[in-house]
Amino acid sequence: MSAEPQVGALLGILGFVAILLVFARIGGVSMTYAMKRIGMAVPLVFAVVTFIFILLELAPGDASTKFLNPDFPPEVRQMVIAKYGLDKPAITRYFIMMGNLAVLDFGRSISAERPVWDLVRTALPNTVMLSGVTLAVAYPLGIVLGIVQAVRQGKPTDTAISIASLTFFSMPSFWFAMMLQLFVAYYFSTWITGMIDAGTLPGFFSVFDFDVTGMNSNEIQMAMAVGDDVSWLEWAGDVGHHLLLPGVAMGVAGSASAARYMRSSLLEVIRQDYIRTARAKGLSERVVILKHAMRNALLPIITLMGLSIPFMFSGSVLVEQVFSWPGMGQLIVQSIFNQDTPTIVACFFVSTLLVVTGNLVADLSYAMVDPRIRYD
């Protein structure tokens, strides 16, 4: 791995650490506690990488059986195996891998014949975008639905939302993604296109003609391929158009879970003595709920947000495959299929860092939401 990718990876990790320290400072958390938690993440990341390496070693075959043509001469096959160190004992390859990871050297992809960092650097922002849309759909919607349920406990609205939440929570994300493809991106978009062609609807409604594969439309891809100028706004709008359905596919299940937690937490809080006191003072129900009850009721939601990050990455593996979204999930699937150990290890290394970061941010957020909580 050249110095440039190593510097890029190091700057990325240092950026994570800096963001966490700033976040801790804003929340009133001591730097000693924050650094201690960050330090605890290091052995956890290497433990996950070790576990992944063991699983890959237990799998039959190796990468050379996946991408080398069986008709290649034996000497060519042996040369490739030696080039990537596949002829060394597993324990030797493990220590070489861990030594490289210690200096942020992810190595070279066996199947793609490119530096692994280039593959991760390309795929990671796409998954982060998808996860961002998922969070933007899941938690605002889930919190609002949970509040409505708690305020209207036992009424038909509460029952209807509970049934809908349980239904969507039980759906596999990949199945819901395929249903969105079928009913929204095919039937609905086909109907909209037909109405526009017939002159019944104005051309503006073409925004509802959803694309279901990839990250950019064919027109944008062709324009970029031939070197035509594509404005940043046009590119962002096209990406957002492709991103909407995958984000909804992952976000709806998350909103169902968030709504159930929010309802339960808020119902518990509004039974407390200080809520009865606030009502006795003549405060409106809106002020009581949004100003006094919400701060404590949000604590389980913050925990859920931190713990949902690993599920976003695991869920994105299937959703990205359904929508051909070029993110970390698709990269992991392709790497596993090719038994490309360096790429798989790098993907899980980065994913584990993000999961640890999410959990730590959730932990530190407690002090920001509830002033009674302090970490020293």
> Which pLDDT band, with edges at 50, 70 and 90, does 52 fall under?
confident
The counts of H helices and E strands in the chain are 17, 0
Instruction: Report how far residue 324's alpha carbon sits from residue 315's, in angstroms, rounded to the nearest whole number.
Output: 14
Query: With helix as H, strand as E and coil as C, how does 74-134 read?
Result: HHHHHHHHHHCCCCCCHHHHHHHHHHHHHCCCCCECCCCCCEHHHHHHHHHHHHHHHHHHH
Q: Is 70 exceeded by the pLDDT of residue 356?
A: yes
Q: Which residue has the higher pLDDT, 245 or 209?
A: 245
In this structure, are residues 176 and 290 in contact, taking their beta carbons and an 8 Å threshold? no
Structure tokens at 288: 């009581």
Average pLDDT (256-268) is 88
Q: Which residue has the higher pLDDT, 31 or 178?
A: 178
221-247: pLDDT as tens digits: 777 767 677 777 777 777 887 888 888
Domain 128-337 class, CATH top level: mainly alpha
Phi, psi of 115 (to 5 degrees): -60, 135
Domain ranges of the chain: 1-109+339-376, 128-337
Q: Is 80 exceeded by the pLDDT of residue 23?
A: no
Q: Is 80 exceeded by the pLDDT of residue 268?
A: yes
